[in-house]
Amino acid sequence: MKIAVAGTGYVGLVTGVCLAEHKHFVTCVDIDDKKVALMKAGISPIYEPGLEELLAKNIERLNFSTEYKEAYKDADVIFIGVGTPEKQDGSANLSYVYGVVEQIAGSIEKDCVVVVKSTVPIGTNDKIEEMIKSRLVHDVNVYVASNPEFLAQGTAVRDTLHASRIVIGVEEPYAGEVLKEVYKDFDAPIVVTNRKSAEMIKYASNDFLALKISFINEIANLCEIIGADIEDVAHGMGYDNRIGNRFLNAGIGYGGSCFPKDTKALHWLANFHDNELKTIKAAIDVNENQKLKLIKKSRKYFDSFKGLNVAVLGLTFKPGTDDLREAPTLVNIPIMLEDGANIKAWDPVGVDNFKKIYHDEITYCNTIEDTIKEADVCFIFTEWDEVKEFDLTKYNRLMRKPIILDGRNCYDLISVKKANLTYDSIGRETVNSLEYSLA
């Protein structure tokens, strides 16, 4: 099929490349000339494992353009994959989506299916259909379908090619049949429902996972108080197939482009209809508090960061991505800087993005060793493999005071106890091989 994709972010570009992998001819549209030039050269403008290789492999079936009229006018299917960032009040900003809708209405010259892949509030697809049909320039039939994405950054290519499910929300059988044809070679179950149900499936899925994370973090916080071990607790819980073992890793909260935005958007939508979702509100509150967990722990060892050498391992909200959206570092590092800390930071892919926010205020290092050298305390914010596999004895050898505050539980406590460290993690026993008073 001839397919156009609006937007070349995590959703749009991954969708376009994966559709090309399944032999469709795809034109990806973006307003940024520099991004388009990069993609034409086979270079991905975003960091996502496996994406650039797949892009280069399918370059003959991929086209990248800023000319939306040419891309949309004779496409069989048009996917909308632009961002829907949150507004100040927590609602979704749909201006980018509606901008693309205006372009589509003025450009299409043949019957087509418009597919909304962006995460949008329930009922948005109905509004999009009304907008397109009221603004059509040519006498064509347009069908609007909801087809939410369920990819995670760091595994987006795998999540698309080997999806857990493909959800199709339609009001007419024809649109459903077209999308079944688009996805016929994808090895995934297909769920066909109406548009509002498809939109809700996306929000309900993400918000449930956010709830699960917030729940295990609250249990972890209680484990610290009563002397239980959260990893043993989560392990025991995970054997119950009604619960499962995924998203039971305690830490310093969720971040990224989906969970924070989608929980706030659904909470806002419910309030708009005078129906508060108390569980979602609780997840939002728990997550915001959890992000500061390590700062609170640090007060046991230092009453101030003034003059301290602070090492930061990991800047992104999770491993496998350079995305900083809602990363705990964006909450913690400003507090440290304001308090007078001297910060050295390491991240394998996130430094360039972090430099756009903090260019001169932080020293960026190329190795973990350089980052922790002469440090008074080390904060672990992202569970990169390089961190998890790091030689624990180096903390003692290189740091001025080997105090490790680990927000991702990267190390097992038995190994830590052998390394002569002070190690404070989430929901587990604090290892005090070395004792420190307030400095």
Query: Distance from first CA to last CA of the chain, Å, rounded?
Result: 66
C-alpha 212/C-alpha 218 separation (Å) is 10
The active-site residue, picked from 18, 223, 258, 365, is 258
Same CATH topology for 202-290 and 293-432?
no
Centroid of chain to Cα 381: 15
**CATH 2.60.410.10, applies to 293-432:** no
* Residue ranges for the chain with pLDDT beneath 70: 434-439
pLDDT at 187: 86
3-class DSSP state of 2: strand
pLDDT at 436: 53
Burial 310-348 (b: 16+ CB within 10 A, else e): bbbbbbbbbbbbbbbbbbbbbbbbeebbebebbbbbbbb
Residue 75 · residue 112 · CB < 8 Å: yes
Per the listing, tokens 């090619």 go with 161
**Rounded to 5 degrees, what are φ and ψ at 169?**
-110, 120
pLDDT at 434: 67
Alpha-carbon torsion 101, 103, 109, 110, what sign? negative
**CATH 1.10.645.10, applies to 202-290:** no
Which fold is adopted by the domain 2-193?
A: Rossmann fold (3.40.50)
Domain ranges of the chain: 2-193, 202-290, 293-432
pLDDT at 438: 47
pLDDT at 251: 97
Go through the chain and tell me how many residues it has.
439
Verify whether residue 258 is a known catalytic residue: yes
